[in-house]
Amino acid sequence: MQVCPNAKCKKTFIAYYYQSGSSIHYDDRTTQGELIGKEFSETINSISDGFVTIYNQAFSAEQQNLTEICGVGYRKALEFLIKDYLIKNNPELTEKVEKKLLGACIAEYIDDSRIKSVAKRAVWLGNDETHYIRKWEGRNLADLKKLIELTVHWIEMEFLTMSFEIEMPE
């Protein structure tokens, strides 16, 4: 970890070096020392703080150009979001949701067609990040993140709608 010598900056960064024989050489690349986290709404934080933590760890890995592992983290974050969402909506299903595969949870327990549609596709791309052979050639990490973002959006819209319906009954 190093500090920028510019008096106005003074931000930390990580410099990469490699060893060749008995010499150490600068690798001509750096990584930010302070990584930026993605902000999520209070609603999403209340549904799944685990999702927020894992997503931001994956996001940090991506910012450090660790592109081979960040997708696995995004896939795990998605699983926490979906399962926490289902448990919050249906506490009586807790044990079943915890034990069931994510795809089966989406197929069996999610009623909202928009959430089901985007979450299912996010799982497909997330699984591609964890397996040796990709099924969805032509799709990438950016697509996975968009599908997770859409899943977050529809879950948040559902919770906000329910909240207002409870607070403002007809």
| 55 and 6 housed in the same domain | no
| 15 and 87 housed in the same domain | no
Q: Give me the pLDDT at residue 26, please.
A: 62
pTM: 0.81
Q: Give me the pLDDT at residue 29, please.
A: 62
Radius of gyration of the chain (CA): 20
| 21 and 96 housed in the same domain | no
| 52 and 13 housed in the same domain | no
| 110 and 48 housed in the same domain | yes
* Cβ–Cβ under 8 Å, residues 132 and 15: no
What total of structural domains would you count in the chain? Answer: 2
Per-residue pLDDT of the chain (170 residues), as tens digits, is 566 677 777 666 667 677 778 877 666 666 666 677 899 999 999 999 999 999 999 999 998 888 999 999 999 999 999 999 999 999 999 999 999 999 999 999 999 999 999 999 999 999 999 999 999 999 999 999 999 999 999 999 999 999 999 999 99
* H-run or E-run covering 13: strand 12-20
| 79 and 7 housed in the same domain | no
| 15 and 90 housed in the same domain | no
| 58 and 103 housed in the same domain | yes
| 135 and 153 housed in the same domain | yes
| 24 and 54 housed in the same domain | no
Q: Rounded to whole angstroms, how far apart are CA atoms 130 and 80? A: 16
| 22 and 106 housed in the same domain | no
| 13 and 91 housed in the same domain | no
Domain that holds residue 155: 38-167
Per-residue H/E/C for 72-136 = HHHHHHHHHHHHHHHHHHCHHHHHHHHHCCHHHHHHHHCCCHHHHHHHHHHHHHHHHHHCCCCCC
| CB contact burial 146-155 (16+ within 10 A = b; e otherwise) | ebbebbbebb
